[in-house]
Amino acid sequence: MNLRRLAPHRTARRRRSSTFGLVGLVLSLVALGCSRPASAPSAEPFALPLPTSFSSEGAHWAIVPMGHLGSEANTFWQLVVERPGSTTWVLATPPGVADNGGLVVRGGASRPLAIGFLTSELLGFSPLAATSDTGHNWSGTVLPSALTPVPDALAGSGGGESVALLGREGESVVADKGGLGAWRTILTRKALVAAPGSSSCGIGALTAVALAGPGSGAPLVGATCSRKGQVGLFESSGGSWRDVGPRLTGALSTSSTEVAGLTADGSRLQVLVAARTGSLWTLSEITQKSAGTSWTVSAGLAIGAGTRIQAIGAVPRGGLFVLLANGSAASPRDEKLEVLVQPGRRWQLMTSPPSATQTVAFASAAPVTKGLEAFVVDQSTLTMYRLEGTNAWVKREVMGVQIPYSSSS
């Protein structure tokens, strides 16, 4: 069949032009579908790790994730303890509740030791477990809502009072006068944002709580600040909240900040500040010895792109360690251990811990290398290495843990 005879030239031309129009329309739609809208640079918050170590009631403790670390439902956080007089670590994970969301310890000079559970799956509020006998026995209670997933979401004082930061971005702060069973709201983020004294910060999320600041013993709240160079630190005073955070100077004066850690023991307040400039974060510790006095600022620890903080914890006598790593949280590699032995000092790079170290624990401040241990996790096996001399990690103990896989789904 001769198609030309059935399709006069004019009709064919009109058809071709409409066909080209159709092609053009489709190509435009395809191009539209493929192009990506321009987006503002992401303002990722500083990622705060939960693995840690600390000392309490004469015992050394560490919190590590175990199991299949790539899947939250099969990651089970464990609490291990080296009790006074003992030279071995034992499992002391509080029983009775799934801990796939992670564990946080009640910081400060509080007694007894209390551990908070971050929520996972369908649980909508955080359980708390307390022990007075270094983890032999635990009693359980609950918070009214879910703890904020930050290491310093829970704090206490020597008098038995506690504060807790609740909600995904720190929506509220609750306090308990003792017993951990009668929590009342003392602050909401909305109220703090609306408070006259908070405008110097430009509050984003609430990121840490503490009790017993120097002198006052009042609750303290850390926050992210969008105002350059301002540290978001607020103290309860006579029923209202006032901004007590310092203003950073020098290179960090143009950085937005986030309070990454908050420790107060009544005599000293230590604030770990993460300052962001572009894609780089700088970690500094600022310290205040008494209310209203000047702040001591440590040297900055630069954290480059691609590097994560694997663990943060305490070094005896007020020091601080930061374990940096590349790779994912589940498979850390190229670990670097930085220590701030004393407030105001420079960061000290230690011997690199073994690969896949989740956290480290310090037993001594002088010398800081004495009794330093690294906790390496391989699914259900926890291996403790001890630093011998200055650069030799020696396997000291291997602990097998019966991980209850699939029990949370």
Partner 1 sequence: MPGMGSGLSDNNSTIVSAFRTSLLHQGLLALAILAILLLIWNVIRANQIRALSKAASSEGEPASPAIEDRPALGPEPTARRLLRIAFGLIWVLDGALQAQSAMPLGMIPQTVQPTALASPTWVQHLVNVGGTIWNNHPIQAASAAVWIQIGIGLWLLVAPRGLWSRLGGGASVLWGLIVWVFGESFGGIFAHGASWLFGTPGAALFYCAAGVIIALPERHFASPRLGRIVLAVTGTYFVGMAVLEAWPGRGFWQGTSQHSTALGAVTAMTRSMAATPQPRTTASWVSSFASFDASHGYAVNLFVVVSLAAIGLGLLSGRPAPTRLGVGAAALMCVADWVLVQDFGFFGGVGTDPNSMIPMLFVITGGYMAMLRPGPAADTPSLAAAGPTTIGVLRRRATQPGFLLRALGAIGAVAIVILGAVPMAFASVNPNADPILAQATDGTPNAVNSPAPGFQLVDQFGKPVSLASLGGKVVALTFLDPVCTSDCPLIAQEFRESDNSLGTAARQVVFVAVVSNPVYRSVSATQAFDRTEGMAGLKNWLYLTGSVASLEKTWNEYGIEVAVIGAGSMIAHSDLAYIIDARGHTRYILDSDPGSGTQATKSSFANVLTSSIDHVLPSS
Q: In this structure, what are the phi and psi dihedrals at residue 12, rounded to the nearest 5 degrees?
A: -60, -40
Which C-beta is closer to partner 1: that of 78 or that of 256? 78
DSSP secondary structure code for residue 12 in this structure: H
State the Cα–Cα distance between residues 60 and 90, nearest whole angstrom: 11
Which C-beta is closer to partner 1: that of 1 or that of 40? 1
Q: How many CB atoms lie within 10 A of CB 317?
A: 13
Q: Could you identify the residue written with the tokens 């954290």?
A: 303
Whole-number minimum distance, CB 65 to partner 1, in Å? Answer: 9
Whole-number minimum distance, CB 385 to partner 1, in Å? Answer: 22
Whole-number minimum distance, CB 309 to partner 1, in Å? Answer: 23
Which C-beta is closer to partner 1: that of 33 or that of 278? 33
Site of interaction with partner 1 (CB under 8 A): 1, 3, 6-7, 12, 15-16, 19, 22-23, 26-27, 29-31, 33-34, 66, 76-78, 91, 93, 95-100, 117, 119-125, 127, 129, 138-144, 181-182, 401-404, 406-409
Which C-beta is closer to partner 1: that of 348 or that of 379? 379
Which C-beta is closer to partner 1: that of 139 or that of 369? 139
Which C-beta is closer to partner 1: that of 138 or that of 281? 138
Helix-, strand-, coil-residue percentages of the chain, each rounded to 5: 10, 45, 45
Please give the C-alpha separations between residue 36 and each of 23, 25, 29, 75, 313, in angstroms, as whole numbers: 22, 18, 13, 35, 41
State the Cα–Cα distance between residues 177 and 162, nearest whole angstrom: 7
Whole-number minimum distance, CB 409 to partner 1, in Å? Answer: 5
Give the contacts of 250 (CB within 8 A, at least 6 positions apart): none
Whole-number minimum distance, CB 187 to partner 1, in Å? Answer: 20
Whole-number minimum distance, CB 20 to partner 1, in Å? Answer: 9
Whole-number minimum distance, CB 308 to partner 1, in Å? Answer: 18
State the Cα–Cα distance between residues 8 and 384, nearest whole angstrom: 87
At residue 24, the 3 state secondary structure works out as helix
DSSP class per residue in 259-314? EEEEEE-SS-EEEEEEEEETTEEEEEEEEESSTTSPPEEPPPEEE-TT-EEEEEEE
Which C-beta is closer to partner 1: that of 91 or that of 363? 91
